[in-house]
């Protein structure tokens, strides 16, 4: 609708140019926005205000000219000029009602499939397989997942890439410990059940025992040269670690599968080629024995050029090299039109550098968009990165356990007679929803404070509130005992709150497009919360099943149905499941 109004205004500007009210070379910047205040209509534009200066006229006079030129339109009931020269648009009620009917008839709920589908590669989650997944992986995993789902819903082809850390020197000490345990006849898979502890043991031995450290380094070299024994140990380790990750993904309802795994080691063979190709394009410089790329835009202290080192003086490669290889693979093999990285915002400098080098080296097509979708740190009550009470990094699995436990407790409090199995199920869904909603609801790029108390408080803007809102709609249909497929009749927007609800409902598409464009699921959370809260208010004020007339009852049932569908779909795009009762 916003786009539609903008379109008309653009035509109108041309008309004004023909009339020589405006200079011909002018391309005005203006906005069409939803209003905050109902008295300002449903939409408003500042066009007349921005035109005042170039037209050398009073903004209100220009506004009048604009209004006079606006075509008669079924969607707009009336137009008003207000304040210093804003033009306010009031939506036609029957038009709004028809939009609701159309959305109900549409499996996409009124959200158009994109006319220009893109292949979008999304790099997210990407844990280090040497350790267990911890709280630091939460945001990348669930924000990336939500954006992936949203892009798919809009009709794009999404390729998920889980760029796991499965290579590097730390694997030497892990393999050394595996080897040692095997010699003493211990069952390795058992020992690896607690990855975190395994890593700690290996690290400790590495620090304490020179023999162990030597063996570790030796194993790294053997692994890199493709030694069979080493590769087998390494593969065994990876399998176990990956299955830990998959377990977390499944619990969290994250749409990552083994198919998405394409780790650092996948690029090993490519690394020398990256370096030689950089050399061919003349970008490579040797500096103090290391192979570097220097770009003029990247300066360090005292204006000294800042290199991107792609090969160390000992011949080893670095993460920059791997990232370049990955970027090229995504461009050439995966045919990406757009590449998104959901990685800690602290790496933003690295990514700027990486993208610039990749462009210069033509590893990326000029038309390919690449964006670092950085996210902030999860903080504890003390304002420092979130840790457990004992001061160690919080394992994701423990976090999920805790959330489920707390959620179950509160659900049990509300439903003293509920069967244990149902409590488990509901507690699980509510717990996960709480964690995910609390995280996804915050602006991606800033740090946020993690608090179980806030997110499982069950009051206000929380995951549980969203699920509760959904169950209330669901219960209406249970009670009514009607098949939603048989609902028909016109939508009647008699009450102000009904109008408001309809207005929200038809906004879904606009929100999803913005989420997809900016990689910001918190906009969807905010929208769904407003929808749920508008619905709660409607639910209070407008009896549905006992509505005064049959027409009103039918209309309200349809408003309920669309609310339910948008809530369910919207939450699904966030990776949050719904419940029919709770």
Partner RNA sequence: GCGCCAGUAGCUCAGUUGGAUAGAGCAUGUGACUUCUAAUCACAGGGCCGAGGGUUCGAAUCCUUCCUGGCGCGCCA
Residues in 490-549 that interact with RNA by CB under 7 A: 514, 518, 522-523, 526, 529, 533, 536-537, 539-546
Residue 363 φ/ψ, nearest 5 degrees: -80, -15
d(CA 571, CA 467): 9
Site for RNA in 104-133 (CB under 7 A): 128
d(CA 337, CA 369): 6
The reply on whether position 319 binds RNA by CB under 7 A is yes
Query: Strands, DSSP E only, in 125-240?
Result: 157-161
Shortest distance (Å) from residue 227 CB to RNA: 19
The reply on whether position 458 binds RNA by CB under 7 A is yes
CA dihedral sign of residues 128, 132, 136, 137: positive
The reply on whether position 38 binds RNA by CB under 7 A is no
Residue 198's nearest CA partner among 231, 175, 221, 216 is 175
SS3 311: strand
Shortest distance (Å) from residue 369 CB to RNA: 14
Among 16, 21, 40, 338, binds RNA (CB under 7 A): 40
Shortest distance (Å) from residue 183 CB to RNA: 28
Among 187, 443, 488, 496, binds RNA (CB under 7 A): 443
Both ends of the chain: CA-CA distance in Å? 36
Among 6, 17, 28, 34, binds RNA (CB under 7 A): 34
- Which span (200-208, 220-228, 233-241, 307-315) binds RNA, by CB under 7 A? 307-315
d(CA 546, CA 367): 57
Residue 277 CB partners (closer than 8 Å, separation 6+):
361
Shortest distance (Å) from residue 77 CB to RNA: 16
Shortest distance (Å) from residue 53 CB to RNA: 6
Shortest distance (Å) from residue 286 CB to RNA: 9
H or E stretch at 259: none
Shortest distance (Å) from residue 168 CB to RNA: 5
Residue 539's nearest CA partner among 486, 468, 443 is 468
Among 168, 172, 521, 575, binds RNA (CB under 7 A): 168
Angle at 191 between CA 187 and CA 194, to 5 degrees: 155
Tell me, by CB under 7 A, how many residues bind RNA: 100
Among 157, 360, 472, 499, binds RNA (CB under 7 A): 472
The reply on whether position 46 binds RNA by CB under 7 A is yes
The reply on whether position 457 binds RNA by CB under 7 A is yes
d(CA 145, CA 123): 10
Residue 140's nearest CA partner among 440, 340, 372, 343 is 343
The reply on whether position 224 binds RNA by CB under 7 A is no
Among 27, 304, 333, 549, binds RNA (CB under 7 A): 304
Strand partners, 80: 88
Site for RNA in 419-438 (CB under 7 A): 426, 430
Q: Which is nearer to RNA, 125 or 322 (CB)?
A: 322
The reply on whether position 454 binds RNA by CB under 7 A is yes
Site for RNA in 332-391 (CB under 7 A): 346-350, 377, 379
Among 188, 306, 482, 509, binds RNA (CB under 7 A): 306
Q: What is the DSSP letter of 39?
A: G
The reply on whether position 309 binds RNA by CB under 7 A is yes
Site for RNA in 265-294 (CB under 7 A): 287-290, 292
Site for RNA in 62-91 (CB under 7 A): 82-84, 86, 88
d(CA 328, CA 322): 10
Residue 171 CB partners (closer than 8 Å, separation 6+):
130, 219, 220, 223, 234, 237
Instruction: Compute CA distances 171 → 127, 166, 203, 382, whole Å.
Output: 14, 8, 11, 34
Residue 544's nearest CA partner among 479, 499, 488 is 479
The reply on whether position 300 binds RNA by CB under 7 A is yes
The reply on whether position 318 binds RNA by CB under 7 A is yes
Q: Which is nearer to RNA, 313 or 335 (CB)?
A: 313
């Amino acid at each position: 609708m916003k786009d539609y109004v903008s379109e008309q205004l653009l035509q109108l500007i041309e008309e004004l140019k023909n009339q020589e009210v405006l200079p011909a070379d002018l391309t005005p910047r203006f906005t069409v926005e939803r209003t905050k205040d109902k008295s300002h209509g449903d939409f408003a534009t500042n066009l007349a205000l921005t035109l005042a200066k170039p037209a050398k006229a009073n903004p209100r006079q220009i506004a009048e000219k604009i209004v006079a030129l606006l075509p008669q339109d079924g969607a707009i009931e009336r137009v008003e000029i207000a304040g210093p020269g804003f033009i306010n648009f009031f939506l036609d009620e029957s038009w709004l009602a028809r939009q609701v009917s159309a959305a109900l008839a549409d499996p996409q709920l009124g959200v158009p499939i994109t006319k220009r589908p893109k292949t979008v590669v999304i790099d997210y989650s990407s844990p280090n397989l040497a350790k267990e997944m911890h709280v630091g992986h939460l945001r990348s995993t669930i924000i990336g997942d939500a954006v992936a789902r949203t892009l798919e819903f809009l009709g794009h082809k999404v390729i998920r890439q889980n760029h796991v850390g499965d290579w590097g020197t730390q694997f030497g000490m892990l393999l050394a410990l595996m080897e040692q345990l095997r010699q003493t006849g211990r069952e390795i898979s058992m020992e690896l059940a607690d990855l975190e502890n395994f890593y700690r043991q290996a690290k400790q031995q590495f620090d304490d025992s020179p023999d162990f450290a030597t063996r570790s380094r030796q194993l790294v070299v053997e692994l890199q040269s493709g030694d069979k024994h080493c590769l087998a140990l390494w593969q065994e380790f990876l399998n176990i670690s990956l299955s830990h990750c998959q377990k977390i993904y499944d619990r969290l309802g994250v749409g990552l599968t083994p198919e998405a795994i394409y780790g650092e080691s996948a690029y090993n063979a490519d690394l020398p080629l990256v370096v030689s190709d950089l050399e061919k394009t003349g970008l490579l410089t040797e500096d103090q024995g290391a192979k570097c790329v220097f770009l003029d835009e990247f300066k360090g202290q005292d204006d000294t050029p800042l290199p991107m080192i792609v090969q160390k003086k000992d011949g080893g490669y670095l993460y920059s090299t791997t990232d370049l290889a990955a970027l090229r693979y995504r461009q050439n093999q995966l045919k990406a039109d757009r590449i998104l990285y959901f990685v800690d915002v602290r790496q933003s400098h690295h990514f700027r550098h990486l993208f610039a080098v990749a462009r210069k080296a033509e590893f990326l097509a000029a038309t390919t968009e690449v964006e670092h979708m950085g996210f902030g740190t999860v903080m504890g009550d003390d304002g420092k990165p979130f840790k457990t009470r004992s001061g160690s990094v919080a394992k994701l699995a423990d976090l999920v356990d805790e959330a489920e436990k707390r959620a179950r407790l509160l659900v049990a409090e509300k439903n003293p007679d509920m069967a244990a199995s149902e409590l488990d199920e509901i507690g699980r869904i509510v717990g996960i929803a709480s964690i995910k909603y609390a995280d996804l609801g915050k602006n991606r790029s800033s740090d946020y404070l993690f608090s179980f108390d806030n997110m499982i408080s069950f009051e206000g803007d929380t995951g549980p509130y969203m699920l509760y809102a959904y169950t209330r709609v669901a219960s209406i249909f249970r009670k009514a005992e009607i098949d939603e497929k048989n609902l028909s009749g016109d939508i009647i927007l008699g009450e102000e709150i009904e109008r408001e609800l309809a207005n929200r409902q038809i906004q879904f598409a606009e929100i999803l497009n913005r989420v997809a464009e900016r990689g910001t699921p918190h906009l969807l959370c905010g929208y769904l919360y407003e929808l749920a809260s508008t619905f709660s208010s409607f639910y209070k004020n407008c009896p549905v099943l006992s509505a005064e007339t049959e027409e009103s009852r039918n209309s309200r049932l349809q408003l309920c149905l669309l609310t339910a569908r948008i809530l369910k779909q919207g939450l699904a795009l966030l990776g949050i499941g719904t419940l029919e009762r709770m």
